[in-house]
């Protein structure tokens, strides 16, 4: 009986070691968030920019006006390249700012969601997130894109009124 218990303990210990090595190999061989972002950005065929204006409140705190979000779709390859050429992602500590600007990058190699402000550039692929300093080239290019905005379809406005997280999950699917 003692011999059997020792064998079971050794077998369990071996399985734990094998599982640990497998997890380590997956972590080491999987590209990091920066690499995945640059892969998607370098093959991007469409970039959708969104801005969600802040509501206007009364003195009592009631919402007086809920402006609709705005959307710009960029499909021109030179404009897309100008957004991501020379982008260097520098890791940043999280801050407490509110992001009302978003971008969805569509590419044959995947999709990425970016939430950003004048100093933050947070990227997500739906499973992982990374917080970085705002790359100046992206900020300048997205600012230029807003000079000729297109309006958002009414169906997207209705979904947004229920909650912007639902609206973006629909945009990513």
3 state DSSP class of 10:
helix
The pLDDT of residue 151 is: 39
Order the strands of the 129-133 sheet from edge to edge: 70-74, 46-51, 101-107, 110-116, 120-124, 129-133
In the numeric block, the tokens 């059997």 are attached to: 4
User: What CATH number does the domain containing 165 carry?
Assistant: 3.30.1490.410
Q: Are residues 14 and 80 in the same domain?
A: no
Count of domains forming the chain: 2
pTM exceeding the 0.75 threshold for the entire prediction:
no
Q: For residue range 73-125, what is the model confidence (pLDDT) as tens digits?
A: 888 888 888 888 888 889 988 787 878 889 999 999 889 899 898 888 988 87
Q: Are residues 53 and 104 in the same domain?
A: yes
145 neighbors 72 (Cβ within 8 angstroms)? yes
Q: Is the pLDDT of residue 25 over 50?
A: no
Q: Are residues 10 and 42 in the same domain?
A: no
Q: Are residues 168 and 157 in the same domain?
A: yes
Q: Are residues 20 and 41 in the same domain?
A: no
pLDDT higher for 154 or 103? 103
Range of the domain at 126: 31-172
The pLDDT of residue 160 is: 38
Percent of the chain with pLDDT over 70: 67
């Amino acid at each position: 009986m003692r011999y059997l218990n020792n064998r079971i303990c050794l077998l369990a210990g071996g399985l734990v070691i094998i599982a640990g090595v497998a997890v380590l190999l997956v972590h080491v061989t999987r590209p990091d968030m920066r690499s995945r972002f640059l892969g998607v950005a370098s093959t991007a065929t469409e970039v959708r920019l969104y801005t969600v204006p802040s509501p206007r409140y009364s003195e009592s705190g009631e919402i007086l006006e809920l402006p609709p979000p705005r959307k710009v779709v960029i499909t021109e390859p030179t404009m897309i390249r100008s957004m991501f050429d020379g982008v260097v992602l520098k890791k940043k500590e999280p801050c407490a700012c509110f992001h009302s600007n978003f971008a969805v990058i569509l590419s044959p190699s995947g999709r990425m969601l970016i939430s950003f402000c004048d100093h933050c550039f947070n990227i997500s692929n739906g499973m992982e997130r990374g917080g970085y300093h705002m790359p100046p080239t992206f900020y300048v290019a997205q600012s230029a894109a807003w000079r000729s905005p297109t309006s958002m379809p009414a169906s997207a406005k209705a979904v947004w009124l229920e909650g912007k997280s639902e609206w973006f999950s629909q945009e990513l699917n």
